[in-house]
């Protein structure tokens, strides 16, 4: 028969577990403090729900205190306790702490590995998460549906299409592809790596779908310059009786803004609240500002901002981007000031203003903005592009000559330029950001990182395969034009994903409809 203290501990454990499962996380932690005050010591059943409660409350100090307690109590040897601790640190995005717990564990199971790679993926450490998945498989631990979904999320974040295909193949072998979470992750992974046909094939093969499934395809089409297809999928979603959510409408409005569907965008923006009770947030307002201002309706965009209570840096940066398009320096300066009030260290408004002044040949203002950046300690993220060949990523910066095949790459660059000049290409030096002679501006544009990556792709990617280039910043208008012409001159498909969307280039056309130039 259990002792009185034992019965008390079991009662507290049951109550703490019930509260944690019901989402009453503060109550679970309060019960633990009450239990401790009565002199009861935690056991291996007490701590896992408490660690999960602390993580979901984003209470890192509470998680650390529970960690110290379980070490003193000698409970770290219990696998489910160590798993709960690892999972808590992962959910709190404390990657080093999670990794330290993982490294100290004498035994690991599928839950251990899944917690680690899901936490790494959530924190944006996608390459590390992909490595963790390979380590899991290498250790002989068979992944479950949660591990596969997390690995696919990591592949999407790392733009690692071939690695994603490998995870997909493993999911099929293990009979995990039928799980809804795996199907959703597959649609999202293929869409985020520009493989729309694969995304659609997975979607069509799924026996069950939810809002996440439909939204992944809607967003995928939008980001790949297929705005009309996004709207078609949304209509199918509604007909199927699936209720759209906040993210669905972000994808819809993004599609409308990138395709110039002003009337459809307005209608969906109104429908959010009127038909579905979804309150518009900063992301929706940013899409609407982008849509209206690109259509030349800056006044309507400003009226929308005046009526909005949801203004953050995202919205003001959307307006700032529109001002760059319309070369409205006065309004751009106002938008930049609003971003700086929210976050003076955000490099985006400095860069956008500097680019706007550069295109207007206002070199004194360019110098002023750069001096302001320096005085505030703000640094611009350096532009880079990368292309994958046989599972290896090759990274390039502007005027990069560090690659082992640099001499071949630069010969190919010269050949590319000669070919497209013969087809009528004329460099648009308005996109050059330095005050120098025309020849220097043209040379600077020709050696942008995305063009170097394309040249390498022409050398290294088989002729039958598309060249997939990824860039961390937005592609400039001159490079966009040049790469379109390269795709036609070499009869290749070039898929360029920049910080804003995918550009599928073939036969001299781009899926974005030259959106980046407008």
Residues 383-416 pLDDT 10s: 899 998 887 889 999 999 999 999 999 999 999 9
Number of domains in the chain: 2
pTM attached to this predicted model: 0.81
* Residue-level pLDDT at 309: 66
- Does 442 map to a domain? yes
Q: Which residue, of 338, 356, 380, is where some domain finishes?
A: 380
Domain match, 367 and 394 both: no
Nearest alpha-carbon partner for 328 in 360, 302, 306: 360
8, part of any domain: no
User: Are 455 and 425 in the same domain?
Assistant: yes
Instruction: Specify if 220 maps to a domain.
Output: no
Q: Which ranges of 22-144 does DSSP label H, i.e. alpha helix? A: 25-37, 47-56, 60-72, 79-91, 95-104, 110-122, 126-138
Mark residue 98 as left, alpha or beta (left: phi above 0; alpha: psi -120 to 50; beta: remaining): alpha
Do 354 and 429 fall into the same domain?
no
Among residues 102, 87, 83, 95, which one has the least CA distance to residue 120? 95
Q: Considering 380, 413, 435, which residue would you say is the last residue of a domain?
A: 380
**Terminal CA-CA length for the chain:** 78
Same domain? 349 vs 402: no
Neighbours of 48 (CB within 10 A): 23
- C-alpha angle with apex 207: 203 to 211, nearest 5 degrees? 60
Instruction: Check whether 314 has a pLDDT greater than 90.
Output: no
pLDDT confidence tier of residue 316, bands split at 50, 70 and 90: confident
d(CA 84, CA 90): 10
CB neighbour class for 274 (10 Å; exposed up to 12, middle 13-18, buried from 19): exposed
The reply to whether 457 falls in a domain is: yes
Instruction: Provide, rounded to the nearest whole percent, the portion of the chain with pLDDT above 90.
Output: 60
153 within domain boundaries: no
Residues 505, 408 share a domain: yes
State how far the alpha carbon of 293 is from the alpha carbons of 260, 304, 336, 485, in Å.
10, 11, 16, 28
| Element containing residue 38 per DSSP (H, E) | none
CA distance 263 to 300: 13
How much of the chain is in helix, strand and coil states, percent to nearest 5? 65, 5, 30
What pLDDT was estimated at residue 442? 65
Residues 453, 418 share a domain: yes
Q: In this predicted structure, what is the pLDDT of residue 1?
A: 38
Do 323 and 421 belong together in one domain?
A: no
Q: Final residue of a domain: which of 363, 380, 397?
A: 380
Residue 422 structural domain: 384-510
- State whether 369 and 418 are in the same domain: no
- Name the DSSP letter for residue 243: P
Token pair 């295109």 is found at 359
Domain co-membership, 428 together with 339 = no
pLDDT more than 70, % of the chain: 94
Instruction: Give the chain's count of helices (H) and strands (E).
Output: 26, 6
What is the C-alpha separation between 95 and 93, in angstroms, rounded? 6
- Say how far apart CA 193 and CA 366 lie, in whole Å: 35
pLDDT at 320: 81
**Residue 499 lies inside a defined structural domain of this protein:** yes
Please compute the mean of the pLDDT values over residues 326-346 and round it to a whole number.
Answer: 83
State how far the alpha carbon of 36 is from the alpha carbons of 11, 40, 221, 440, 442, in Å.
13, 5, 54, 72, 72
**Does residue 396 share a domain with residue 434?**
yes
Using CB atoms within 10 Å of the CB of residue 224, give its burial: 0 to 12 exposed, 13 to 18 middle, 19+ buried: buried
In this structure, the answer to whether residues 406 and 427 fall within a common structural domain is yes
288 within domain boundaries: no
* 384-389, strands of its sheet edge to edge: 392-397, 384-389, 467-471, 494-497, 502-506, 509-510
User: Cα separation of 28 and 333, whole Å?
Assistant: 50
- Segment 191-244, tens digit of pLDDT: 999 999 999 999 999 999 999 999 999 999 999 989 999 999 999 999 999 999
What is the residue-averaged pLDDT of the chain?
89
Give pLDDT tens digits for 374-390.
888 888 888 899 998 88
> Does residue 390 sit in the same domain as residue 499?
yes
Residue 489 lies in a domain: yes
């Amino acid at each position: 028969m259990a002792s009185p203290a034992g019965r008390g501990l079991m009662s507290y454990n049951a109550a703490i577990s019930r509260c944690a499962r019901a989402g009453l996380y503060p109550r679970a932690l309060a019960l633990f403090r009450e239990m401790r005050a009565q002199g009861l010591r935690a056991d291996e059943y007490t701590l896992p729900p408490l660690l999960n409660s602390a993580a979901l409350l984003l209470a890192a100090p509470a998680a650390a205190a529970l960690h110290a307690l379980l070490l003193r109590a000698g409970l770290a040897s219990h696998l489910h306790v160590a798993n709960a601790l690892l999972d808590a640190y992962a959910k709190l995005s404390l990657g080093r702490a999670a990794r330290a717990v993982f490294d100290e564990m004498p035994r690991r199971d599928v839950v251990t590995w899944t917690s680690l790679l899901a936490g790494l993926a959530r924190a944006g450490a996608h390459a590390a998460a992909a490595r963790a998945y390979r380590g899991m498989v290498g250790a002989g631990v068979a992944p479950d549906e949660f591990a596969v979904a997390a690995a696919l999320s990591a592949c999407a974040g790392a733009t690692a299409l071939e690695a994603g295909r490998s995870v997909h193949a493993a999911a099929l072998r293990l009979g995990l592809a039928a799980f809804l979470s795996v199907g959703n992750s597959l649609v999202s992974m293929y869409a985020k790596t520009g493989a729309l046909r694969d995304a659609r094939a997975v979607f069509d093969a799924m026996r069950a779908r939810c809002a996440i499934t439909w939204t992944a395809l809607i967003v995928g089409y939008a980001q790949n310059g297929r705005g009309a297809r996004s709207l078609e999928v949304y209509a199918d979603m509604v007909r199927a009786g699936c209720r759209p959510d906040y993210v669905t409408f972000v994808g819809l409005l993004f599609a409308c803004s990138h395709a110039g569907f002003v009337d459809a965008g307005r209608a969906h923006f109104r429908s959010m609240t009127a038909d579905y009770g979804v309150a518009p947030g900063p992301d929706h307002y940013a899409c609407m500002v982008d849509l209206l201002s690109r259509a030349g309706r800056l006044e309507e965009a400003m009226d929308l901002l005046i009526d909005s209570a949801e203004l953050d840096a995202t919205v003001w940066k959307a307006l700032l981007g529109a001002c760059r398009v319309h070369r409205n320096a006065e309004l751009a300066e106002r938008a930049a000031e609003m971003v700086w009030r929210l976050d003076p260290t955000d490099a985006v408004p400095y860069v956008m203003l500097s680019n706007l002044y550069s295109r207007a040949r206002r070199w004194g203002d360019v110098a002023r903005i750069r001096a302001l950046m320096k005085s505030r300690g703000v640094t611009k993220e350096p532009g880079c592009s990368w292309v994958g060949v046989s599972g290896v990523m090759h990274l390039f910066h502007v005027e990069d000559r560090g690659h082992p095949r640099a001499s071949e790459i630069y010969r190919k660059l010269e050949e590319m330029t000669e070919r497209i000049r013969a087809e009528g290409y004329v460099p648009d030096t308005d996109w050059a950001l330095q005050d120098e002679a025309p020849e220097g501006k043209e040379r600077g544009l020709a050696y942008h990182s995305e063009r170097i990556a394309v040249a390498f792709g022409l050398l290294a990617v088989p002729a039958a395969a598309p060249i997939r280039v990824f860039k961390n910043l937005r592609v400039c208008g001159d490079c966009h034009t040049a790469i379109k012409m390269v795709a036609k001159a070499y009869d290749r498909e070039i898929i360029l994903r920049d910080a804003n969307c995918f550009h599928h280039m073939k036969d001299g056309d781009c899926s974005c409809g030259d959106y980046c130039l407008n």
